Amino acid sequence: MSVLDVVLYPDDPLTKVSKPIAAFTPSLVQFAENMFDTMYAFEGVGLAAPQVGVAKRMLVLDEPDGEKMCLVNPEILESEGSEDGSEGCLSLPEIYIQVPRATRIVVRAQDPLGNPLEFEARGFLARIIQHEVDHLDGVIFLDRVDMLTRHAKLQEWQEIRERLLLQGDRSSPSAF
Ligand code: NI
């Protein structure tokens, strides 16, 4: 079991666009396992590679009472509907906000072995995938809300970040 360091916003590479993965090697499978270990260690339900300092297009998730999956090079092919829902982020622990997301999406991706996947996701699963795919494009949940909320939450985050950097406990239940 390997728990990786989680990068706090706005440190690198969280605001960068991550690169596609071309090589499906045993080390990629090991990295996926390490990402799951890290997500569980911080009590999250999703984690994108840039959140552990790797600017590659890959994510893991474990929806409560639902799907557990690792998606490589995920693309959202279709999206429809919009619904506000609560989100937290392991890169901004303790910040929870209401974020509008599509209610139904169609996703194309690969698994860590390079096998193609295509499926439909709804509700909370669709929400997690949209949040993580945003991370791969350098976008965070605060970029998805109105300017006033964004500004207020960024100020709140500055204080939380300073405290976390001193105390070191960064678990963030149900965040992604
Ligand atoms: Ni996040």
CA of 175 to the centre of ligand 1 (A): 7
Residue 1 banded pLDDT, cuts 50, 70, 90: confident
Q: Which residues are catalytic?
A: 132
Domain segments of the chain as ranges = 26-167
pLDDT digits (tens, 9 = 90+) for 115-169: 999 999 999 999 999 999 999 999 999 999 999 999 999 999 999 999 998 886 6
CA of 166 to the centre of ligand 1 (A): 21
Query: 3-class SS at 95?
Result: coil
Torsion angle, CA of 39/42/47/52, rounded to 10 degrees? -100
CB 33 within 8 Å of CB 68: no
DSSP state of 11: S
- Dihedrals φ, ψ of 110, to 5°? -125, 160
The burial of 46, by beta-carbon neighbours within 10 Å (0-12 exposed, 13-18 middle, 19 or more buried), is given as: buried
Topology of the domain covering 26-167: Peptide Deformylase (3.90.45)
Upper half-sphere CA count for residue 50 (Cβ side, 13 Å): 28
Give the pLDDT of residue 174. Answer: 77
Ion ligand 1: residues, Cβ under 5 Å? 89
Give the pLDDT of residue 129. Answer: 98
- For range 7-27, the mean pLDDT: 97
Give the pLDDT of residue 169. Answer: 67
The burial of 22, by beta-carbon neighbours within 10 Å (0-12 exposed, 13-18 middle, 19 or more buried), is given as: exposed
Give the pLDDT of residue 100. Answer: 98
- CA 37 to CA 28: how far, in whole Å? 14
**For residue 150, what are its two tokens?**
């964004």
pLDDT digits (tens, 9 = 90+) for 75-120: 999 999 999 999 999 999 999 999 999 999 999 999 999 999 999 9
- CA 33 to CA 116: how far, in whole Å? 19
CA of 26 to the centre of ligand 1 (A): 26
pLDDT at residue 171 above 80? no
CA of 88 to the centre of ligand 1 (A): 7
Q: Bridge-partner residues for 80, per DSSP? A: 104
